[in-house]
Structure 1
Amino acid sequence: MKKISIVLGVSILLLSACGGNKLDLDEEKVQSATAEEAAGQKVIEENNYKEEDIQVLKVCEAVKQGEEDYGFNGEYIVYWQTNDGEYKRDFSMTSDYEIGYGSQRLEEIEDRCITLD
């Protein structure tokens, strides 16, 4: 009985340590990957924005258009802007924090979003 209690306690502790938001994403990794990719865009570079000038606004789980019945498969839409609000864009992102440009083929799952400060 004591072993069961210990295993149960450790399991609860481990589960509570996962994530930190309802999408179980590392917000620092999202910010870092997004800022790095955004800072490399020509218009961002030409206007002298740096990585620290990029803000992630919202991240949503997403599904490929036409494949909604299959459900979430580890892809996200990341909404970002420059700190002055001059440029607002979005990227696609995998669960491995790899940024891409395929957000137009994704459909946001509206009730599976987080906002970042």
Structure 2
Amino acid sequence: MPCPGVTTGRVEVPGEDYGRIQQAVDSGKNLWRLSPVRTAQVIGTRNFGLRERDSYTFVEQYYDPGSGLQHAVVRVRHQSCTYLVELYQPIKQGQKGIWVVTEITEV
């Protein structure tokens, strides 16, 4: 039984300007964007029905040779449900790159 109110599938935040977000982080703002776990938590809570108090666990980070981009997976325990939140780095790769949520899958 899926948990009501949580958005699953491919997701994006309408109007998110990755270049502008990366510039803000480069200038020291919204540094939570540098952590896949914190990004899953903040964006998931604001936009996709997850909760700040849910349990967020880093699963893995991997490089996709096809796109040349870093990806990460975060497991979220929400009520009786478990979700995998997939993220990637659209602008810069590595420690200084922002993370963006792309998909939420119930497991």
- Could you say which structure has the greater relative contact order, defined with CA pairs below 8 angstroms and 6 or more residues apart? 2
TM-score (norm 1): 0.41
**Structure (1 or 2) with the larger CA radius of gyration:** 1
Q: Choose between structure 1 and 2: higher helix proportion.
A: 1
